[in-house]
Structure 1
Amino acid sequence: MAAVLFDFSGTLFRVETTESWLRAVLAGAGHTLPEPELTRTARALEAAGALPGGVEPEEIPADLAELWAVRDQSAELHRAAYTGLSRRVALPDAGLYDALYDRHMTPAAWTPYPDSARVLRTLRDRGVGVGVVSNIGWDLRPVFREHGLDACVDAYVLSYEHGVQKPDPRLFSVACEALGADPRRVLMVGDNRAADGGAAALGCRVHFVDHLPTEHRPDALLPVLDLVV
């Protein structure tokens, strides 16, 4: 393999829990909720799918369905979709909806999987090109920099910067071109079979991992090193 493409959320990094997310935003805004209410609110936000990178919504409201389908094509669409979901849940201050969205874009909200650094640094040391291909509405580069992994990534291809989202093969094509790699010699690693599987249309090999909490997935990326020979 000449290069490896990685998805971001659920593959290399995991977003914080919905409760941690809510607690951080409430504390930052100077709000407090009784513990039972905070727990109920966090569960409601999780069911709504309001945390980007978290669990999928249990149900997409009809008035958000069209927006949801194209949410990763621009920063504006992404924010509108996720704040639209969070607004289904009552919060003590209307400003908290945007504050929640802003929080998820901070490096503090993300934790790399235990084996991410080892795999990325090993690929770099082997001279294998590395790209990050993500359906996302914001710039994730600061997350990699904060966790000391930016030097391991040769190209970032983010849907909102190109107006195209996975599984559209055009996004993977941009990544392969950025790395100067023939797609037939590229491995795509991701957690979403529908979205990340789109790379196969170009001839890329595809490898999937499960989107699990970091403590439950200590070494799922390590097989990637054996696939790149």
Structure 2
Amino acid sequence: MSTRISAVLFDFGGVLTTSVYEAFEAFGAALGVDPRLPLRLLAKDEQSGALLVAHEEGRLGQREFEDGFAERLRAHGADIQGAGLLSRMQQELRPDQAMLDLVAEVRGAGRPVGLLSNSLGDDCYAGFDLESMFDAVVISGDIGVRKPSRRAYAVACERLGTRPEETVMVDDLEHNIVAARRAGLAGIVHREAATTAEELRNLLRV
């Protein structure tokens, strides 16, 4: 008999907000370069990727990340300085009210809900009262590990008070869901609120 899913971990950027991909592409377009340049560097450029990992794990401060990533952008034709870079990158992100309502719905049904997020900048959660929204809040920069590390999922489940096999992770990045499943969790790749809500309600039987 399969274990019943009874708890949910939500990602932040791209799940509780509008698309991170679209925001980063808008940033690239505003720089007057290939709109996909910022995403491509973070995903495929070794130096940019190392900066991102170090920042998300809390080993590199916001300004150091901004200066380093601005240098990589300049090396590929962008005219930009480090100060304020992360604010510009995330300028187009907006809360997704349908997903915020879903978090409240699941919690209102008596299911434990937690946040497991890779942090990006000092102010990326501004405007969200995370402590009142969730039963547990786990931020990569605070615990020193980031998704898709198995340890990140283990810490989140521990703080939420659930076992991995009782928990589902909702994330917009497929590789984070692959990693969650390897760590014993169920997973939903988020694309839009209506589909995610239907999948989650079916899993939780609410």
TM-score, normalising length: structure 1: 0.69
Partner of 1:177: 158
- CA pair 197-44 structure 1, distance change in 2 beyond 3 A: same
Root-mean-square deviation over aligned CA pairs: 3.1
- Identical-residue share of aligned pairs (%): 26
Aligned match for 2:86, one of 101, 117, 125: 101
1-side partners of 2:164 and 2:25: how far apart? 40
What corresponds to 1:73 in structure 2?
57
Structure 1 residues 79 and 225: CA distance shift in structure 2, 3 A: farther
5+ residue gaps in structure 1? 23-38, 50-54, 211-216
> Which letter maps to 2:202?
D
2:185 alignment partner in structure 1: 204
* Equivalent in the alignment of 2:196: 221
Separation (CA, whole Å) in 2 of partners of 1:203 and 1:135: 19
**Structure 1 residues 176 and 11 mapped into 2: Cα distance closer, same or farther (>3 Å)?**
same
Shift of residue 135, structure 1, vs aligned partner: 1.5
* 1:207, distance to aligned residue in structure 2 (A): 0.9
Corresponding residue of 2:96? 113
In 1, the alpha carbon distance for the partners of 2:65 and 2:59 equals 10
* TM-score, normalisation: structure 2: 0.76
Residue 101 of structure 1 aligns to which amino acid in structure 2?
A: L
* 1:85 to 1:99, Cα distance in 2 relative to 1, 3 A: same
Tell me how far apart the structure 2 counterparts of residues 142 and 157 of structure 1 sit (CA, whole Å). 16
**Cα distance in structure 2, aligned partners of 1:63 and 1:122:** 41
1:53-86 per-residue CA deviation (whole Å, 9 max, x = no partner) reads xx44387445445434544211626654454333
Q: 1:7 aligns with which of 4, 11, 33?
A: 11
In the superposition, relative to structure 1, how do residues 102 and 202 fare at CA in structure 2: closer, same or farther (>3 Å)? same
Counterpart of 1:189? 170
- Give secondary structure in 2 for the equivalent of 1:144: coil
Please give the alpha-carbon distance, in whole angstroms, between the structure 1 residues aligned to 2:133 and 2:43: 37
| Matching residue of 1:144 | 128
In the TM superposition, residue 203 of structure 1 has moved relative to its aligned partner by 1.4
1:228 Cα deviation from its structure 2 partner: 1.1
Q: Measure how far apart 1:164 and its partner are.
A: 0.7
Q: Is 1:153 equivalent to 2:130 in the alignment?
A: no
AA of the residue aligned to 1:169: R
Q: Helix, strand or coil for the counterpart of 1:188?
A: strand
Question: How many residues are treated as equivalent by the alignment?
Answer: 192
Secondary structure of 2:126's counterpart equals helix
Q: 2-side partners of 1:182 and 1:151: how far apart? A: 22
